[in-house]
Structure 1
Amino acid sequence: MTDDNAAQNQPAKEQAKPMRKIPRVEQAAILLMSLGEADAAQILKHMGPKEVQRVGVAMAQMKDVSREEVKYVLDQFVDAVGGQTGLGVGNDDYIRAMLTQALGDDKASSLIDRILIGGNTTGLDTLKWMEPRAVADIIRYEHPQIQAIVVSYLDPDQAAEILATLDDKVRLDVLMRVASLESVQPQALQELNDILEKQFSGGSTTQTSRIGGVKRAADIMNFMDRSVEGNLMDSIKDMDPDLASTIEDLMFVFDNLKDIDDRGIQALLREVSSEVLVVALKGADDEVKDKIFKNMSKRASELLADDLEAKGPVRVSEVEAAQKDIITIARRMAEAGEITLGGSGEEMM
């Protein structure tokens, strides 16, 4: 009786502590599956294609979820919303803050507009909700400067997939224009937006005028396949070695994880599943591996080492995909101010 009473008197958070670290996307999947099909479908309707895909993959890969893990996720959700002043009071601000924290400024902006402004999006924003190949088909015969503006406006991962569908010469031309693009006159951007709105029957105005730049070009290249990225970088070096050097300095690649401080690495590891980490480390250099192992508990590092040894050969494409998943998480956390990326362009003291 004494032991039972002691267990009952423990704080809820301690009772609900999971046996493993649950990445946020998996927490979202567990929460949605706990709600039931109808309620989960209503939530998914307000999410973008990328977010739906990420959560869907997490659901498909989910198995053997314990009661403790479900309780932990539900407790985390209750804690997150429990401090609000009340439903219907300042909920616009709450929605903005919640989505921005969850998705980052760029990805949340168009979703916020859809929810808070009657579901309308600008013509350019509509492209963010389309498959990359479909966007490529729309802009394929436009002037390269128009293509550069559109590519700069989209998320880097979507832009990278669009560029991958273009011919090598066009891809090089567009990326060079993205790198040199600092701003666009609001009138010119509005005209482009109006043309797209006629195609999509949109109904809003755009406020964005500052897009593009070398940093944007580097962000886009981060999401390209290595073979495409390597060939494109070689072409840029031939045309403008200084620009190529600047882009390389601004790019964040998997090897740059070793430049993140220990606290940042620990925060990142809490968001990465062990399965993805094992595959990603199969192609990592010793410095990155040492950085990861150093920031894990002794038991966790021993388990990771055993998993790496037992994994066996892995396809290069699988390693690259896993490393890109981790890079994407790191960038999202950096945008949210949770970690600081020590990219190759930063001076080391």
Structure 2
Amino acid sequence: MANEAKPANEALARLTRLDRAAILLMSLGEKDAAEILKHMGPKEVQRVGTAMATLTNVNQTQVEGVVAEFLEAVSGQTGMGLGSDAYIRNMLTQALGNDKAGALIDRILLGGNTTGLDSLKWMESRQVADLIRHEHPQIQAIVVSYLDPDQSAEILSNFNEKVRLDIVMRVAALEAVQPAALQELNDILERQFSGKAGAQTTSIGGVKTAANIVNFVDSSIAADLLDQIKEVDEDLGIQIQDLMFVFDNLVDIDDRGIQILLREVSTDLLVVALKGADPQVQDKIFRNMSKRAAELLRDDLEAKGPVRVSEVEGAQKEILTIARRLADAGEIVLGGGGEAMM
């Protein structure tokens, strides 16, 4: 029995938590899977759905292990949360086939709880961009302000430089929208999709929102965009830059993300960057290293002589560049810039 358990455990260990969630959903009937997915938000649906579509060579032992693990861990509650319209349609069709996917897609993507504006959160960013492309720039700014910053950044990437600049400047200038105007926009969108009237949010936009969005824009585009904003309004550009993801925001990255980041950063660079870092950032780094590695890093920090501020800032910027690259590749999530400021 022990020999049989070991291969089973090894087979299960090879699966990520996302893979296990996908296997569990695919093990359920269409109705039950749909009920679970209805309680998830767009981004999590996309992540789980992608895993469902890409899983290959899953054996019976792994399926049984995932189900057994779930039954052991569950304690009377379930919950999840995050997705994207056309993407989900294609993914579910690949995973389940046309017939089975049909009913599931209808229930998940355009269910009874999505309002007009909220429906955009379930759409592919390119679709949203096409939908608002010929709207007044102020409408574009309101829509971009309303959505999550990472989705808004993707939407912006579908516009040219001039339009991107105009939208971000308008987002930064937004403070509040009259309820009637927001409701009218919601109703227009709702007639194109489905759902119930609602949208009571009136305080959207602002410099923080603009900074959150620029945080998620591709690094090369973000740099150009900031330069363009400063040309039009230098003070605003500086405000946005100051509110974007900075070195101290590393404390907001989850532990797994920090560990991934540390694998890409040399010790010499880390020592210089941490020389002038906030103690919380230092503690975050130490906690995500082995005990031995943390001790060596502390010794290196103590042995390091005085370092110019410009050198510290340069090292920190290099690490932030690496963090942005990893975030662009989907390997880590920069939680501080996009979420802590909301």
Please classify the TM superposition score into its range, dividing by the shorter chain length.
0.5 to 0.7
Q: Deviations over 1:149-177 (max 9, x none)?
A: 01111111111111111121111111011
* Paired residues for 1:1-349 under 5 Å: 25-33=18-26, 35=28, 39-40=32-33, 43-44=36-37, 47-59=40-52, 60=54, 75=69, 78-82=72-76, 98-99=79-80, 102=81, 119-252=112-245, 255-256=247-248, 259-260=250-251, 268-269=255-256, 272=257, 277=260, 281=264, 286-287=269-270, 292=285, 295-298=288-291, 320-322=325-327, 325=330, 327-328=332-333, 330=335
Percent of aligned pairs sharing the same letter: 53
Give 1:194 deviation, angstroms: 1.8
Q: 1:299 to 1:125 in 2, by over 3 A?
A: same
The residue type equivalent to 1:81 in the other structure is S
Give 1:199 deviation, angstroms: 2.5
- Larger RCO of the pair (alpha carbons < 8 Å, separation 6+): 1
Give 1:281 deviation, angstroms: 2.2
Q: Deviations over 1:58-101 (max 9, x none)?
A: 4536888997998588546654533x6xxxxxxxxxx8xx45xx
Counterparts of 2:264 and 2:58, CA distance in 1: 25
Counterparts of 1:81 and 1:329, CA distance in 2: 31
Please say if residues 268 and 330 of structure 1, whose CA atoms lie closer than 8 Å, have aligned partners that are also in contact.
no
- Name structure 1 gaps, 5 residues minimum: 5-15, 85-94, 104-113, 302-315, 336-340, 344-349
Give 1:132 deviation, angstroms: 1.3
Counterparts of 1:71 and 1:182, CA distance in 2: 51
Structure-1-length-normalised TM-score: 0.61
The residue type equivalent to 1:139 in the other structure is I
Q: 1:279 to 1:63 in 2, by over 3 A?
A: farther
The residue type equivalent to 2:264 in the other structure is L
SS of residue in 2 equivalent to 1:50 = helix
Q: Deviations over 1:16-58 (max 9, x none)?
A: 9999798654453353355477754653465455323312344
Counterparts of 1:126 and 1:222, CA distance in 2: 24
Please say if residues 171 and 210 of structure 2, whose CA atoms lie closer than 8 Å, have aligned partners that are also in contact.
yes
Counterparts of 2:55 and 2:261, CA distance in 1: 16
Give 1:319 deviation, angstroms: 7.7
- Name structure 2 gaps, 5 residues minimum: 3-8, 83-106, 275-281, 295-320
Aligned-residue Cα RMSD (Å) equals: 4.8
Please say if residues 229 and 237 of structure 2, whose CA atoms lie closer than 8 Å, have aligned partners that are also in contact.
yes
The residue type equivalent to 1:156 in the other structure is P
Please say if residues 178 and 216 of structure 1, whose CA atoms lie closer than 8 Å, have aligned partners that are also in contact.
yes
Counterparts of 2:186 and 2:127, CA distance in 1: 17
Please say if residues 112 and 194 of structure 2, whose CA atoms lie closer than 8 Å, have aligned partners that are also in contact.
no
Counterparts of 1:146 and 1:284, CA distance in 2: 48
Q: 1:66 to 1:295 in 2, by over 3 A?
A: farther
